[in-house]
Amino acid sequence: MIVKEEAQAKLNLTLDVVGLLPNGYHEMLMVMQSISLCDEVTISTKPGDGKINVSTNRSYLPNNEKNLAYIAAKKYMERAEVTDMDVIISLYKRIPVCAGMGGGSSDAAAVLRAMNRLCGDALTVDELCELGADIGSDVPFCVRGGTVLAKGSGTEMEELTPMMDCGIVVLKPRFSVSTPKLFAELDRVKICARPDTEGVLRSLESGCLRELARRCFNIFETVLPQREADVVAGVKDDLISAGAIGACMTGTGSAVFGLFPTVEEAERAYGSLCKRYKECFLAVPTRAI
């Protein structure tokens, strides 16, 4: 048996940290959006005793139990009590790594969906999300995708009015910053700017892309080290100069996205920006799976 699943990237239209949770994790408030940029996950099975093999088209990624796709397959087999087959996972990666786009989380989520298909839908989508929360905070969102308000550690989700059609260009500068370091920096400093999450929810409901685009904001941008903050500011300027009506960093970076009123405008911007940025991607928002 072979099944294929798309593992779509995510963007944070907003990202706010609103408190500390008893387990030491941070309490998040984020508007998350899945986009068409995706990895391809292929899973085949054969009779066996539960071995998992992972291969990818990126030589620097782990092929062992450190890969979230491996962890997802293992957790699925434990939960669904699958003991009589080996699983061969092949990841064709397009989503940039260490970009804040949930690439690893989305691969894990796609593995959970694929395993569930292979096992006759043994688990419900809610159960897949529950399993995903044990793998990483973004995995439950990646199981469903669409437009979601994520709360708690990021795993509690409220479905929102789907994002309006638009074009998206994502640029990934070369640096990446450690996620725990950025959280620690947020704990240390006095926060002086936050996203207007309510305003973003209103913009989604009214379907006004311009209102949404100008409100996209990520609190992690305020605590980047100076050099990285300058790079992100430069990338945002480049996107706006190329016609974006709003630009924002996603997750803990370093990818920055720009929103364009139409796919054609995004394509034009992509045409010029991809000459200057090695990692440049074109996408559109996608709906829940």
Name the site residues for ligand C5P (rule: CB under 6 A): 25-26, 28, 136-138, 153-154, 179-180, 183
What's the closest the beta carbon of residue 28 comes to ligand C5P, in angstroms? 5
Structure tokens at 139: 């995995």
How far apart are CB 187 and ligand C5P at their closest, in Å?
Answer: 9
**CA–CA dist 173, 273 (Å, integer):** 12
Q: Quick one: 25 or 175, whose CB is closer to ligand C5P?
A: 25
Residue 10 annotated to the active site = yes
Surface-to-core class of residue 47, CB atoms within 10 Å of its CB (0-12 exposed, 13-18 middle, 19+ buried): exposed
The single residue of 75, 138, 172, 238 carrying the catalytic annotation is 138
Cα gap 17→167, rounded to integer Å? 27
Residue (83 or 178) nearer to ligand C5P, CB:
178
Q: Pick the closer one to ligand C5P by CB: 112 or 259.
A: 112
Taking the least distance from each CB to ligand C5P, the nearer of 95 and 259 is 95
Kindly state the tokens that stand for 20.
Answer: 């500390």
Q: What 8-state DSSP symbol labels residue 222? A: G
Give 63 or 153: the residue with its C-beta nearer to ligand C5P: 153
Q: CA-to-CA distance for 253 and 17, rounded, in angstroms?
A: 15
Distance separating alpha carbons of residues 112 and 68, to the nearest angstrom: 11
Gap between the Cα atoms of 48 and 44, Å rounded: 12
Catalytic residue among 10, 75, 172, 236: 10
**Comparison of 148 and 209: residue with beta carbon closer to ligand C5P:** 148
Closest residue to ligand C5P in the complex (CB)? 137
Q: Which amino acid is at 178?
A: S
Shortest distance, position 184 Cβ to ligand C5P, whole Å: 8
> What residue type is assigned to position 158 of the chain?
E
Alpha helices per DSSP H over 55-134: 68-79, 103-118, 125-133
Query: Smallest distance, Å, CB 220 to ligand C5P?
Result: 11
Nearest distance in Å: CB 24, ligand C5P: 7
Cα-trace Rg, the chain: 19
Spatial separation of the C-alpha atoms in residues 44 and 27, rounded to whole Å: 38
Q: How far is the CB of 108 from ligand C5P (least distance, A)?
A: 10
User: Does residue 86 carry a catalytic annotation?
Assistant: no
Strand-pairing partners, residue 14, are 31, 217
Question: Mind telling me the catalytic residues?
Answer: 10, 138
